[in-house]
Amino acid sequence: MAVAGIDIGSLTTEMVVLSEGKVLSSVMLSTGSNSRTTARKALTVALEESGLSQQDLEYIVATGYGRVSADFATRQVTEITCHGKGAFFLAPEVRTVIDIGGQDSKVICLGRRGKVTDFVMNDKCAAGTGRFLEVMAGALEVDLEEFSRLAISAGKPVSISSMCAVFAESEVISLIAEGYPRQEIMRGIVSSITERTITMVNRMGVDGAFMMTGGVARNKAVVESLQKGLAVKIKVPEDPQMVGALGAALIAGEEVSIAGSEHI
């Protein structure tokens, strides 16, 4: 028997199928405008890749902002719990998880057994999120990979004073017109994200190892700047966007084994 987790985020949808503690398939799609259709598609592809049918999935946990769209799920669980669960499974020494996705950012604290002990979240505006980086990369006419590569090798950051993504975009356009070096503007954008994240981290009493999850963990300039600002080493898993879906699948597995032990 197998279990699955699906994470329907504002930008990407991931699904992980597990059997006997092993990953049978992992799928990532763009969420797009119809999260219900995307969730179904993720299920179809994940089943195809794992050579299973839907009846083989004993328990499915859905998470993420669009979790209600997975009408085939057994249960819904918050992203905070799922990212915590996935991160702790990948590295049990982790006590602080920084998840920056497309539309929100979170700092999650874990106890010794991996339970969430506290968290802070910014879901009020695009500032400090992946969406902010996308808008700024658009204004600078580079893709996110190039943005990350150029920002990491920049000199001094040009300070971006606007908090709001809409105003910051106009500010960036003005800075380009004033002739500021593009790489230094990029560095300033990265600093603006990391300063917000560091403020969130400092609101929690953190210690122990750090892990970063969510798509922004793929931006090496952000990771490097956070490591410097926090004076810590941050672990980045091979596929940081998959951690929420992995955590959801692990919770599904636990539900099945709890139900199993109740029947003994």
Stretch that binds Mg ion, among 8-16, 118-126, 145-153, 231-239 (CB under 5 A): 8-16
User: Which residue number, 126 or 201, has a Cβ lying nearer to ligand ATP?
Assistant: 126
95: enclosing H helix or E strand? strand 94-100
Q: Which is nearer to ligand ATP, 42 or 52 (CB)?
A: 42
3-state secondary structure at position 231: coil
Which one of Mg ion, ligand ATP, none is in contact with 11 (Cβ closer than 5 to 8 A by kind)? ligand ATP
Phi then psi for residue 149, to 5 deg, are -65, -45
Question: Under rule CB under 5 A, how many of the chain's residues touch Mg ion?
Answer: 2
Distances (CA, A) of 53 to 2, 106, 145, 191: 10, 35, 36, 47
- The least CB distance from residue 187 to ligand ATP, in Å, is 15
Residue whose CB is less far from ligand ATP, 130 or 157: 130
CB of residue 105 vs Mg ion: minimum separation in angstroms? 10
Q: How far apart are CA 150 and CA 58, in angstroms?
A: 46
Q: Does the footprint of Mg ion cover residue 84 (CB under 5 A)?
A: no
Q: Tokens for 192, please give them.
A: 């603006």
Nearest Cα residue to 90 out of 233, 206, 235: 235
Q: What is the DSSP string of 129-151?
A: SHHHHHHHHHHTT--HHHHHHHH
Which positions from 201 to 220 touch Mg ion by CB under 5 A, shown as an x/- string? --------------------
CA distance 50 to 66: 24
Using only C-alpha atoms, what is the Rg of the chain?
19
Give me the least distance between CB of 182 and Mg ion, in Å please. Answer: 29
Q: Which stretch binds ligand ATP (CB under 6 A): 5-13, 157-165, 171-179, 247-255?
A: 5-13
Residue 144 contact partner, candidates Mg ion, ligand ATP, none, CB within 5 to 8 A by sort of partner: ligand ATP
Binding positions for Mg ion, rule: CB under 5 A: 9, 101
List residues binding ligand ATP (CB under 6 A).
9-12, 64-65, 101-104, 130-131, 133-134, 144-145, 148, 214-216, 218-219, 241
